[in-house]
């Protein structure tokens, strides 16, 4: 296809089928992205559902043959939109079952660490949080993060650096209060 041509679906049914396939293939990953960005402030399922609804309403505009970047960008944008809204009282998210087999104390410390890290990530500015999540949890390259967030690569690098620095500072009291491993 030449650069002058725009993708045009052959018919509405084909577009709907491609959209449904994209949703099926990418839902779990998109849910993880939403969960990482919004934390426990809102339901990540609601974020993904709203993003899908927005895309479905305008599905004829997009090329659904390779929808990954479009889906990620839409979910990130929806998550950021929701985070910009006034925030209700935050609920404390419970950590899952311990994954460590070193005993109940190790599991409790691991769960507490997960909770502390999630709380710290939730306190980051939204653009720092989104860039960090896409970098650390989604392993996206800077260029793809920049495209997804509508930013420049240097801006993304700065956001990630500052997010890491702020996380380290927020978690320092917790880390320093933990017992040291050893004998």
Amino acid 5: pLDDT: 46
Shared domain check, 111 and 67: no
Give the whole-angstrom CA distance, residue 136 versus residue 121: 12
The structural domain count of the chain equals: 2
Please write the tens of the pLDDT for every residue from 42-68. Answer: 788 888 988 888 888 888 888 777 888
Residue 24's domain is classified under what CATH number?
1.10.1740
Asked whether the whole model's pTM tops 0.85, one would answer no
Largest CA distance in the chain: 69
Please write the tens of the pLDDT for every residue from 15-24. Answer: 888 888 888 8
- Which parts of 82-169 are beta strand (E)? none
Shared domain check, 157 and 109: yes
Give domain status of residue 98, yes or no: no
Backbone angles phi, psi at 141, to 5 degrees: -70, 160
* Of 145, 172, 173, 171, residue with least CA distance to 158: 145
Please write the tens of the pLDDT for every residue from 108-130. Answer: 556 677 777 888 888 888 889 88
Give domain status of residue 151, yes or no: yes
Give domain status of residue 17, yes or no: yes
* Structural domain for 151, as ranges: 104-177
Is residue 7 pLDDT above 60, yes or no?
no
Shared domain check, 109 and 74: no
């Amino acid at each position: 296809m030449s650069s002058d041509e725009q993708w045009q679906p052959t018919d509405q049914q084909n577009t709907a089928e491609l959209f449904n396939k994209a949703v099926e293939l990418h839902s779990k990953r998109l849910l993880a992205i939403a969960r990482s960005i919004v934390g426990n402030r809102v339901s990540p399922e609601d974020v993904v559902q709203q993003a899908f609804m927005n895309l479905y309403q305008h599905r004829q505009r997009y090329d659904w043959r390779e929808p990954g970047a479009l889906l990620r960008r839409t979910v990130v944008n929806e998550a950021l939109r929701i985070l910009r809204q006034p925030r209700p009282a935050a609920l404390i998210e419970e950590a899952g079952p311990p994954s460590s087999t070193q005993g109940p104390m190790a599991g409790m410390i691991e769960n507490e660490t997960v909770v502390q890290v999630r709380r710290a990530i939730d306190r980051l500015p939204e653009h720092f949080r989104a860039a960090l999540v896409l970098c650390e949890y989604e392993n996206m390259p800077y260029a793809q993060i920049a495209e997804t967030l509508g930013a420049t690569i240097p801006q993304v690098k700065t956001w990630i650096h500052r997010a890491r620095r702020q996380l380290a500072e927020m978690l320092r009291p917790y880390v320093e209060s933990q017992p040291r491993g050893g004998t």
